[in-house]
Amino acid sequence: MAKDDKKRPLWLAMEEKILDLGSQDVSDSSLEATIQRIAGDLDGEGYNVSCHGGNLMQLRWAVDKMRSAGKSMLGDLNAVIAGFTLDDVADPYAVTTSLLDDIGTTWPELRDPARRPEVIKAVEQAKLGLLIAKAKGMDGDLGIRLLIGEGVDGATITSSMEITDEKLAEVKETIKKELAERARVTGLLEKVADKSEEEKIRFLFDNEVTEALIIEMMQVDQAAIEGVKKAMEEELKEKQRLAEEEAERKRKEAEGPSIEDISADDMTFYIDSIREIMEFSDVEQEIRTMCEQSSIPKALVDIAVSDPDKLDELEKNAQG
């Protein structure tokens, strides 16, 4: 049990003094001097012991009990608490009851309701120490997260983990965002509650939920994720193929028919249109733009800008 900055109960202050005593201090020849010395020390700490018959008697009883038991109450209590693991102190109140059952035969006074809060406090301090030790051994921010999750106050976290207030605030903000994302995913899953597992996974992917969170919140394995991803990739490839085919179709449609597929009448009409356009400009890009606006086949436009004399031949062939 550690000392607290606040004034301890008198019984605890006495036991802390007794904890430091050796066998020589409580021998018959030294006993009275030891009691008077402890009483004086306690007086100096603000307790009225030397001049208070009841308090002095309580001190004598505590020392006598230490002599008869051959050990101090706090020594015994601290030894038990020091043997606890983090699992043991998960519930400080329950473990306190168990602890008092174990050592209450030797120290029945610890079962006094007035003393129980101090025992619980000692167990809670032990739990805090174990949590901090575990946190320090964890990678990255996991230790900080552990202490936040256990409700440890900010000042204790920053001092024990040797981090700044800014770092603590950063981790808390990250946790806040993660909780918000989990809430969002919970809402998404409610929308597809009647769907199959695959449909749910697809829906979450479509809503930009990470793989890790899908696995965690849906309780599925990686194989289920990979199966859905593969199916989605195949669907995406098919969509891409169809889109490319459609783009090619539109391109060809925009370019118009090939030279061989243009009828004689259309050929004559297109060539006349090209010649009119070329009277306005001899700049290739301008010619191409105006021809496109007039829906003239690209095959004819390419000839017009690269070998305009060939238009005469094409026109002659069209006219028979």
Give the pLDDT score at 6: 61
* 115 pLDDT higher than 70: yes
- Other residues' Cβ atoms within 10 Å of the Cβ of residue 1: 21
* 226 pLDDT higher than 70: yes
What amino acid occupies position 84?
F
* 320 pLDDT higher than 80: no
pLDDT single digits (tens) 41-85: 999 999 999 999 999 999 999 999 999 999 999 999 999 999 999
Give the pLDDT score at 253: 76
pLDDT single digits (tens) 172-206: 999 999 999 999 999 999 999 999 999 999 999 99
* 304 pLDDT higher than 80: yes
pLDDT single digits (tens) 231-252: 988 888 888 898 888 888 888 7
Give residue 5's pLDDT band: very low, low, confident or very high (50, 70, 90).
very low
Q: Which residue has the higher pLDDT, 5 or 177?
A: 177
pLDDT single digits (tens) 263-274: 888 888 988 998
With a pLDDT cut of 70, the percent of the chain lying above it is 98
CB half-sphere exposure, 265, CA atoms < 13 A: 0
Give the pLDDT score at 3: 45
Give the pLDDT score at 266: 86
115 contacts 145 by C-beta, under 8 angstroms:
no
Q: Which residue has the higher pLDDT, 313 or 35?
A: 35
Q: What is the mean pLDDT of residues 213-242?
A: 91
Q: What is the mean pLDDT of residues 126-147?
A: 96
288 contacts 232 by C-beta, under 8 angstroms:
no
- Distances 37 to 48, 49, 67 between C-alpha atoms, Å: 13, 11, 17
Closest CA to 272 of 293, 300, 299, 252: 300
Q: Is 297 left (phi over 0), alpha (psi -120 to 50) or beta?
A: beta
Give the pLDDT score at 292: 86
Q: Which long-range contacts (CB under 8 A, 24 or more apart) does 74-80 make?
A: 74/1, 74/15, 74/16, 74/18, 74/19, 75/19, 76/103, 76/106, 76/107, 77/1, 77/103, 77/107, 77/110, 77/119, 77/122, 78/1, 78/19, 78/122
- Residue 147 makes CB contacts below 8 A (sequence gap 6+) with 131, 132, 135, 156, 157, 160, 161
pLDDT single digits (tens) 156-172: 999 999 999 999 999 99
181 contacts 173 by C-beta, under 8 angstroms:
no
With a pLDDT cut of 90, the percent of the chain lying above it is 68
CB half-sphere exposure, 88, CA atoms < 13 A: 14
- Other residues' Cβ atoms within 10 Å of the Cβ of residue 297: 20
* 121 pLDDT higher than 90: yes
* 4 pLDDT higher than 80: no
* 1 pLDDT higher than 80: no
Give the pLDDT score at 2: 43
pTM, full prediction: 0.65
What amino acid occupies position 179?
L
